[in-house]
């Protein structure tokens, strides 16, 4: 039974708990630092959470609780100052509770605006504990100017070097071409796909815009400024900051300092180590390791000189005996034997029995959200992918896998959109990409990291992705959906073909990989939005 409170206690607690009479409740109106400290005490106390909140926080004069929470009266800067003043108290609370784990109990929302596409990847590389989003090149035009200039990063080291003019001219030409082609390509698409009577003007306009964005986004350089948002726990933010501080890019290091300053206002105790003595040691460790490996890798720089002709996916390796591993994992929770014992038995089973077990486990999937359970996490596969940076930006969002990318380059070629081929507009794109290639080739000799900023999003790069088969189900089915970008749909389809050859039994349940070709990808999704809007208006 839920703990009982006096009427006075209920009146106080109702401001911070969704109820006072149930065993299940949520916390409200509390700063993240309070939630984190409260839960850290909760793990080592016999008291209920609401009793702890009353006794050790709300009614404890040393906690600074009233100044921090202010009974919902304190807002803005006054509350931020109060949190800072109370940090010493919460540091005392956290002593002996394992700072790393406690830092996962409080989180923050962080916005980072006017940062390059390279910087967004540096921040989004933090997979665990961080939920990112960013301004989409698929649905938003990047044709705005500010004070007469296109919105791309004037990278500090390049602008201070002899390559400044090359960089500016290349980026300006890419943006000039992008902006010039927006009305041209919009007109082409409208003529090719006139609006049908059953399609609203809103859905049609949105679909045309998305199609034009999809076609042209590859022209934009990696220096293009964008906005990104992040929600994460304190531990994840701390490690993200450490990695950013150790980055070879000036922009990312400056961004780390700004992000650290703002996070210190809301979750100070959780991110303070990112740049203290221990944080700096870790930064130096990461930077030194990167530099030493880069030095050793120089002797192999002659590899990979051949230019790729198209996007490609290679299945580099996969688990031997994957089917037996998965079948044993399927049976494991239903038995009382060791995993080794079960694997020994599975190895002796006939294929018909293994098929029955796998099919029973996969079940009758009626949509892509019906994914097999954790047994499919027992088998792994690794892909090496060559594809354009715009495609990578979308696929990079998958967090339940291991990804590592190479530096951006123009040396693997550019993916010319099929819609522009033979129209005459492709020549304009080729000229702009060639200018970017020349600028990149000059800059990368002295500044390989900074040279990435001038690389168009449509230029190919390489990365690898290692994932378990459960994630592969999610990846291939989600990224092959109709409304997906054509570039990454092809990657998902290629991955599925390779998996079907490597794991014919285990991949047989992937029934929702879409191989169809679509000219107007977003239309059905926009029509679905129309139906939802109509339902809302009726309500």
pLDDT tens digits, one per residue of 107-140: 888 999 999 999 999 999 988 889 888 888 888 8
Q: Where would I find the H helices in 312-388? A: 322-331, 339-347, 351-362
Residue 80 has pLDDT above 70, yes or no: no
**CA 262 to the chain's CA centroid:** 21
Question: Of the ranges 207-211, 265-269, 417-421, which one carries the lowest mean pLDDT score?
Answer: 265-269
The answer on pLDDT for 486 being more than 80 is yes
The model carries a pTM of: 0.87
Residue 324's pLDDT band (cuts 50, 70, 90): very high
Q: Which domains does the chain have, with CATH numbers?
A: 7-102 (no CATH), 109-300 (3.30.1360.170), 310-415+458-539 (3.30.1360.170)
Neighbouring-strand partners of residue 510? none
Higher pLDDT, 235 or 92: 235
Give tens-digit pLDDT for 343-363.
Answer: 999 999 999 999 999 999 999
Instruction: Work out the average pLDDT over 431-437.
Output: 98
Q: Give the model's confidence band at 389: pLDDT under 50 very low, under 70 low, under 90 confident, else very high.
A: very high
What per-residue confidence (pLDDT) applies to 71?
Answer: 45
Count of H helices and E strands in the chain? 23, 9
pLDDT in tens, 51-60: 989 998 888 8
Q: Which residue has the higher pLDDT, 529 or 391?
A: 391
Q: pLDDT at position 308, please? A: 61
Q: What is the pLDDT of residue 199?
A: 87
pLDDT band, residue 323 (cuts 50/70/90): very high
**Is the pLDDT reported for residue 444 higher than 90?**
yes
Residues 480-488 have a mean pLDDT of: 91
Question: Alpha carbon of 371 to those of 274, 319, 330, 345: distances in Å?
Answer: 38, 20, 14, 26
How much is the pLDDT for 518? 85
Would you say residue 529 has pLDDT above 90?
no
∠ CA 450-226-152 to the nearest 5 degrees? 50
Mean pLDDT of 239-265: 94
pLDDT of residue 315: 96
Going through 99-244 in order, the beta strands assigned E by DSSP cover 107-116, 130-134, 145-146, 149-150, 225-233
pLDDT number for residue 72? 44
Banded pLDDT at 272 (limits 50, 70, 90): confident
Q: Assign 49 a pLDDT band (cuts: 50, 70, 90).
A: confident
Q: In this structure, what DSSP letter does residue 459 have?
A: B
Alpha carbon distance 65, 62 (integer Å): 8
Question: What's the rounded mean pLDDT across residues 304-330?
Answer: 86
User: Within a 10 A sphere around the Cβ of 333, how many other Cβ atoms?
Assistant: 9
Residue range 299-304: average pLDDT? Answer: 86
- Residue 533's region, left for phi above 0, alpha for psi from -120 to 50, else beta, is alpha
Q: How far is CA 208 from CA 181, 279, 457, 526, in A?
A: 14, 48, 21, 11
pLDDT at 221 over 90: yes
Determine the pLDDT at residue 341.
97
Looking at residue 73, its pLDDT comes to 46
Percentage of the chain lying above the pLDDT 90 cut: 63
- The four Cα atoms 372, 373, 377, 381 give a dihedral, to 10 degrees, of 10
Query: Per-residue pLDDT for 286 more than 90?
Result: yes
On average, the pLDDT of the chain sits at 89
Asked if pLDDT for residue 510 goes beyond 50, the answer is: yes
pLDDT for residue 516: 92
């Amino acid at each position: 039974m839920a703990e009982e409170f006096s009427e006075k206690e209920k009146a106080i607690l109702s401001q911070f708990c969704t109820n006072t009479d149930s065993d299940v409740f949520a916390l409200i109106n509390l700063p993240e630092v309070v939630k984190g400290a409260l839960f850290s005490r909760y793990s080592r106390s016999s008291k209920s959470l609401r009793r702890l909140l009353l006794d050790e926080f709300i009614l404890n004069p040393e906690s600074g609780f009233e100044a921090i929470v202010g009974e919902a009266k304190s807002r803005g800067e006054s509350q931020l100052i109060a949190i800072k003043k109370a940090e010493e108290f919460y540091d005392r609370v956290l002593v002996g509770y394992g700072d790393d784990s406690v830092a996962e109990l409080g989180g923050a929302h962080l916005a980072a605006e006017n940062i390059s596409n390279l910087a967004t990847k540096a921040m989004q590389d933090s997979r665990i504990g961080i939920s990112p989003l960013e301004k989409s090149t698929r649905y938003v035009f990047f044709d705005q100017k500010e004070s007469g200039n296109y919105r791309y990063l004037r990278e500090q080291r390049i602008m201070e070097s002899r390559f400044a003019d090359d960089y500016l001219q290349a980026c300006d030409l890419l943006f000039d071409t992008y902006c010039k082609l927006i009305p041209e390509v919009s007109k082409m698409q409208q003529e090719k796909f006139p609006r049908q009577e059953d399609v609203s003007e809103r859905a049609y306009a949105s679909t045309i815009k998305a199609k034009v964005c999809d076609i042209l986004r590859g022209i934009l350089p990696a220096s293009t400024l964008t906005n990104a948002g992040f929600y994460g726990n304190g531990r994840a933010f701390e490690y993200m900051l450490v990695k950013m501080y150790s980055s070879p890019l000036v922009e990312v290091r400056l961004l780390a300092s700004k992000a650290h300053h703002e996070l210190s206002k809301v979750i100070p105790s959780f991110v303070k180590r990112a740049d203290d003595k221990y944080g700096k040691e870790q930064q130096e460790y990461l930077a030194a390791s990167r530099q030493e490996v880069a030095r050793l890798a120089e002797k192999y720089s002659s590899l990979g000189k051949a230019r790729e002709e198209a996007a490609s996916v290679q299945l580099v390796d996969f688990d031997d005996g994957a089917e037996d591993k998965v079948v044993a994992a399927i049976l494991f929770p239903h038995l009382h034997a060791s995993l080794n014992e079960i694997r020994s038995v599975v190895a002796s089973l006939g294929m018909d029995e293994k098929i029955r077990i796998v099919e029973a486990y996969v079940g009758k999937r009626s949509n892509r959200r019906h994914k097999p359970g954790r047994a499919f996490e027992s088998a792994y596969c690794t892909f090496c992918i060559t594809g354009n940076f715009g495609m990578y930006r979308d696929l990079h969002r998958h967090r339940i896998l291991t990804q590592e990318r190479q530096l951006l380059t123009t040396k693997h070629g550019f993916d010319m959109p099929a819609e522009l081929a033979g129209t005459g507009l492709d020549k304009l794109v080729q000229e702009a990409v060639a200018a970017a290639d020349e600028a990149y080739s000059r800059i990368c000799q002295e500044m390989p990291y900074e040279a990435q900023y001038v690389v168009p999003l449509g230029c190919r790069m390489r990365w690898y992705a290692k994932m378990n088969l459960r994630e592969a189900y999610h990846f291939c089915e989600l990224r092959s959906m109709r409304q997906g970008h054509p570039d990454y749909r092809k990657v998902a389809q290629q991955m599925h073909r390779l998996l079907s050859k490597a794991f014919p039994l285990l991949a047989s349940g992937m029934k929702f990989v879409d191989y169809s070709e679509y000219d107007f990808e977003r239309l059905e999704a926009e029509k679905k939005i129309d139906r939802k809007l109509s339902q809302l208006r009726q309500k």
